[in-house]
Amino acid sequence: MMDLSNQKVGLIGNGSWATAIAKMLSKNLETFNWWVKDEYVKGYLERNKHNPNYLTGVEFKSEKLNISTDINEVVSNSDIIFLVVPSIYVADCLSKLTVSLKGKFIVTSIKGIIPDHYKLVGQYLLDKFELDENQLGVVSGPCHAEEVALERLSYLTIAANEEEKAQVIANCLECNFIKTKLSNDIHGTEFGAVLKNIYAIAAGIAHGLGYGDNFQAVLMSNAIREMNHILKTVSPVKRKINDSAYLGDLLVTGYSFFSRNRMFGNMIGKGYTVKSAILEMNMVAEGYYATKGVAIMNEEYQLKAPIINAVHKILYEGKNPAKALEKLSKKLD
């Protein structure tokens, strides 16, 4: 097994989930390298020991943090790199990278699709940087950053082709309030995390329109079956769709008030335009961008995905949410 003490760890990102990952890393590592987007965030963290914008109640020990705004410095000095930035910023963030990723192990915890490229983050990294799939790992939920901040018991799924590497990542994150489960289903774990955000938007739209718990239960049961169909089509490997990485993550994202995707959908259901909902939220609703990406992927796979299709019609084709949900309700069982 890889010796964790010999592995230098880096974190790229400073949003709410990146800050939650930083909290987990600080529980297990003597030090780690942390890339943040600007000098203001860097200085604030160093002076005040917490993120000025996200999970502000999480306090860090300064001696554990090697903070930099230079992504090349962080990558050069790290063997394991946690990539935790919203999918819409990944390409821009990595465009500044001039050092090689050769020999690095990249762990993504991004639940979205790269805009304009319409690829999952893992596939984008493989293609862009000519990586080997054994260099990639995925961290998924069910887990909300806000509950990590509160140290409420939470669970993570760590996916990698090699169990030894997945265990090293688990060792970086597991602590008294974080439990981990290992998986070799990299593609399914990553894609399932993308899909559940779209279903959470659907759940939010339904709530905003006044649909009750009974409908929400039917919506979620249909969503997990739809997810299973999609994952079997694009990545036909053996998996248990009722595992927490799939069903659990879907449920927490679809029902929790911490869910930004559910919140975004709720605003749409209440009459906000897409633009106004995006502007009012101070966090990225990954499901909005994922909806378009999955719709484009659907052109290749011809997936049976009535829930995702309904969300796409509302968000990208300007369809009336009430009429679209009413039409969708007739297809659910």
Residue list for the binding site for substrate? 111, 260-261
Rounded CA separation 14/1 (Å):
30
CB 108 within 8 A of CB 125: yes
CB 308 within 8 A of CB 291: yes
Please tell me which residue in 119, 165, 196, 313 is annotated as part of the active site: 196
CB 76 within 8 A of CB 101: no
CB 144 within 8 A of CB 196: no
Beta strand pairing call for 119-120 and 113-114:
antiparallel
- Give the residue numbers of the binding site: 111, 145, 260-261
CB 315 within 8 A of CB 262: no
- Give the residue numbers of the binding site for NAD(+): 145, 260
**Whats the size of the chain, residue-wise?**
333
Q: Which residues pair with 175 in a beta bridge?
A: 178
Q: Helices 286-301 and 87-94 meet at what angle, rounded to 10?
A: 90
| Six-digit token string for 223 | 């969503």
Rounded CA separation 291/189 (Å):
17
Active-site residue, 313 included: no
Cα–Cα distances (Å) from 196 to 177, 257, 275, 316, in that order, read 24, 15, 22, 18
Which residue has tokens 């699709």? 113
* Active site residues per annotation: 196
